[in-house]
Amino acid sequence: MGTGRFTDADWDRYTTTHIRGRSTSTVFSSRSLHPALNPHGVGMRESRDSADNPNSHAIIVDVDVTGSMGFLADVMVRQGCHTLATEIYARKPVSDPHIMFMANGDVECDRAPLQVTQFEADIRIAEQLRQIWLEGGGGGNNHESYLLPWYFAAMHTSIDCFEKRGKKGYLFTAGDEEPQMVLRAAEIEQVLGTRPQADLTAEALLAVVSRYYHVYHLMVEEGSHFRSYGDRVASKWTRLMGQRAIRLSDHTKMAEVIVSTIQVNEGADRDDVVASWNGDTSVAVRAALKSLTRRQEFGLGGLVRFLRG
């Protein structure tokens, strides 16, 4: 997947017809898991080079859709899709972006704890994002299932940027709660239909997915859970991911923070990146990137070979 190119004209036509002036519940009209986004039984989601995108680069953005976190998907479909695609085209931190959206819930209690689009390069990015079900679930366990996107990316995506050119894709998760520290084999089977031989710790799974993707988590400070337990949330994510646990002070600037993070990871000067934005965007980007200075890799290559053969 991933033919075509994202254009302003297509975006204007699409948003005029489907998004502008409409409520969140109207924009996101799914009232159950859309069959096209169901990860159960999926073999591989593919990001492949094409004539339109000869040097494709896979980018995955996962948003928490539990509780009040539906505003993350809403801001991405109203403005974030456009910003993400066009700013990557303009700034060129990577070439030919292929974008996949995911939505995570809570595997312990939600009916749709993971939803996945295809990798797309044109207006189909927004079309598939609108199919996400804002389930609004979650439980009282102080974490959400951010490990499910990690597992799916590691085990159920095939990306030409890595397989042909040795360049990792990018994977961003976003939410206001703590990480789930163990993803159980039974939970993976429930959601995906295949069962690994053992449960996976967050540390081990991070090592696996980091073989193929640069992995970041955006801690949404405006979320109700973070407002109440922010120090605990930040501490757990930072212990797990180090500087790749990023504080997002303004969710409306999520796309800009993602683009900026990619720029810095690809070698751009952090201060120059911050200065390239104006006003509130510059403030949000500066706060997010203040600890991001270099690439950071995660080990456990043997586990990668064990899981993927």
More confident residue, 110 or 2: 110
The two tokens of residue 275 are: 């200065």
Q: Hey, which residues does 102 pair with through a beta bridge?
A: 62, 116
Mean pLDDT on 204-226:
97
pTM of the model: 0.95
Listing from the earlier edge strand, what are the strands of the sheet with 169-175?
114-116, 97-104, 57-64, 169-175, 213-220, 245-248
pLDDT in the model for residue 127 = 97
Q: At what angle do helices 301-308 and 202-209 cross, to 10 degrees?
A: 80
pLDDT at residue 294 in the model: 58
Q: How many residues does the chain have?
A: 309
Question: What percent of the chain clears pLDDT 90, i.e. is strictly above it?
Answer: 91
Q: List, for residues 58-98, the tens digit of each pLDDT value.
A: 999 999 999 979 999 999 999 999 999 999 999 999 999 99
pLDDT value of position 190:
98
Tens of pLDDT, residue by residue over 23-72, are 999 999 999 999 999 999 999 999 999 999 999 999 999 999 999 799 99
Q: pLDDT at residue 301 above 60? A: no
Q: Which domains does the chain have, with CATH numbers?
A: 8-308 (3.40.50.410)
State yes or no: pLDDT of 109 exceeds 70. Answer: yes
pLDDT of residue 309: 54
User: What's the CA gap between 58 and 49, in Å, rounded?
Assistant: 10
Residue 243 in this model has a pLDDT that exceeds 80: yes
For the residues of 192-225, what is the DSSP string, one character each?
A: HS---SS-EEHHHHHHHHTTTEEEEEEEETTSHH
Q: Are 246 and 257 in contact (CB under 8 A)?
A: yes
Strand duo 182-183 + 200-201: pairing: antiparallel
Residue 137 — very low, low, confident or very high, per pLDDT cuts 50/70/90? very high
